[in-house]
Amino acid sequence: MFEITARLDGTAARAGVITTERGQIQTPAFIPVATQATVRAVLPEAMADLGAQALLSNAYHLYLQPGPEIVDDAGGLGRFMNWPGPTFTDSGGFQVLSLGAGFKKTLAMDPGVVQSDEVIAPGKERLAHVDDDGVNFKSHRDGSIHRFTPEVSMQIQHRLGADIIFAFDELTTLMNSREYQEMSLERTRLWALRCIAEHQRLEAQNPDRPRQSLFGVIQGAQYEDLRRKAARDLGAMDYFAGFGIGGAIEKQRLAEIVSWVVSELPENKPRHLLGIGEPDDLFHAVEAGADTFDCVNPSRVARTSRVYTRAGRYNLASAASRRAFEPIEPNCDCYTCRNYTRAYIHHLFKAKEMVASTLCTIHNERFTIKLVDDMRDWIADGTFRERKAEFFAGYYGAASNDRSAG
Ligand SMILES: [Zn+2]
């Protein structure tokens, strides 16, 4: 399923090809997020034009709306949303626990806060309760009560029919105690075994359906011994076709945590870093040996008028763009930059026109996909380190952009 085609000396970075029933993915690759079977504000055709190789949807959202049986009857996730290429679904574990505990941005939580296993976001009700068998949670849509177990997650992901699916895991936070992390890690290990068993049962029951590749998910928060143990335990489970690296990760420690995990995992299987998409994180993670990434950030920030460029991120709604009759980024090959000016998009945001979000999302998704595509070339030609230094000087060294406002 995965073939390594190039390596970067002195690092764990590699380029490769993932093969699925619906096509190949050249890695490293950024996989845009189509949460509810759509990249918000952009047509699937536009995503293909801007170079997306695959899309990732969320099992939790599609379970609640429209329901996995509707997606199944439509011919599966790809056909439902008119995306002929490879698709991923996550397990729902992240959403049931992060939305359920009232945290939307688990990765950004402050680890300096006193540790507690009962912590929830301020002013929120705890909506998710974990036990050894699964998770009870309240829908963020209508408050109805649901239960996910490893078996339920596999059944949902089988009906959604994505090419790459993930084992159900428990998301912990950086605020959980060490004792809780140990207990949770063991729970996620046992759940991984149950996911494999259920996946095999469903495959045997439906031999004519397209094959789906199951990825295990490595947890362990900020603890080196736990991350390594999880990678060894799941890495030894031959049935996994690849691995996700999930859970709470402090930004400053991303490369370190990926390195621990990568050094324990089998070399010949792809590694997907869940929920990571900022430029510096992508560089560090590729260098540490991660192969694919997904993140809602390029589209989420686009809808608030923030755009990425090689000179840094800026806010198109600020007055600086009012009379800027030039593209968002001069050398960008995206549809937006080939056809529209900053001044026009600035106007659309001020006029609250929906197409503003569409044009910005196209640019941001293209920026992120192209950046990771370039990294693939730089691994192959050996210039990764120099290009990374150049990029960081341009993106983070630029004083003229309003990153503070972005
Ligand atoms: Zn552009």
Residue 107: the pLDDT is 35
Query: From ligand 1's centre to the CA of 360, what distance in Å?
Result: 8
Residue 400: the pLDDT is 42
Indicate the pLDDT class of residue 174, thresholds 50, 70 and 90.
confident
Q: How confident is the prediction for the chain on average, in pLDDT? A: 92
Query: From ligand 1's centre to the CA of 334, what distance in Å?
Result: 4
**pLDDT over 60 (residue 344):** yes
Indicate the pLDDT class of residue 298, thresholds 50, 70 and 90.
very high
CA–CA gap between residue 202 and residue 234 (Å, rounded): 21
What six digits make up the tokens of 247? 């859970």
CA nearest neighbour of 6 among 374, 377, 321, 388: 377
**pLDDT over 60 (residue 241):** yes
Residue 101: the pLDDT is 55
CA–CA gap between residue 94 and residue 105 (Å, rounded): 11
Query: From ligand 1's centre to the CA of 365, what distance in Å?
Result: 9
The continuous run of DSSP H or E covering 266 comes out as none
Query: From ligand 1's centre to the CA of 8, what distance in Å?
Result: 29
Indicate the pLDDT class of residue 402, thresholds 50, 70 and 90.
very low
Query: From ligand 1's centre to the CA of 337, what distance in Å?
Result: 4
Which has more pLDDT, 28 or 126? 28
Query: From ligand 1's centre to the CA of 364, what distance in Å?
Result: 7
Least confident of 98-102, 225-229, 326-330, 339-343: 98-102
The 3 state secondary structure assigned to 311-323 is: CEEEECCCHHHCC
CA nearest neighbour of 175 among 102, 231, 245: 102
Mean pLDDT calculated for residue range 268-275: 97
Tell me the per-residue pLDDT of 54-82, one tens digit each, with 9 for 90 and over.
999 999 999 999 999 999 999 999 999 99
Ordered DSSP codes for 87-118: EEEE-SHHHHHHTTTT-S-GGG--TTSPP-TT
Query: From ligand 1's centre to the CA of 214, what distance in Å?
Result: 34
Residue 113: the pLDDT is 44
CA–CA gap between residue 174 and residue 161 (Å, rounded): 33
Mean pLDDT calculated for residue range 361-379: 98
Query: From ligand 1's centre to the CA of 309, what distance in Å?
Result: 8
Which has more pLDDT, 128 or 352? 352
Q: Which residues contact 74 (CB under 8 A, 6 or more apart)?
A: 80
Tell me the per-residue pLDDT of 97-148, one tens digit each, with 9 for 90 and over.
877 655 543 333 444 444 556 556 566 566 788 999 999 988 888 889 999 9
How much of the chain is helix, strand and coil, in % rounded to 5? 40, 15, 40
Angle between helices 384-396 and 355-381 (to 10 degrees): 150
Query: From ligand 1's centre to the CA of 367, what distance in Å?
Result: 7
Among all residues, which ones are annotated catalytic? 90, 294
Neighbours of 250 (CB within 10 A): 16
Mean pLDDT calculated for residue range 223-242: 98
Query: From ligand 1's centre to the CA of 302, what distance in Å?
Result: 12
- 3 state SS of 32: strand
Please state, for a pLDDT cut of 90, what percent of the chain lies above it. Answer: 83
CA–CA gap between residue 313 and residue 325 (Å, rounded): 18
CA–CA gap between residue 92 and residue 62 (Å, rounded): 10
- Which pTM does this prediction carry? 0.93
* Residue 186 main-chain phi, psi, to 5 deg: -65, -40
Residue 99: the pLDDT is 74
- 3 state SS of 146: strand
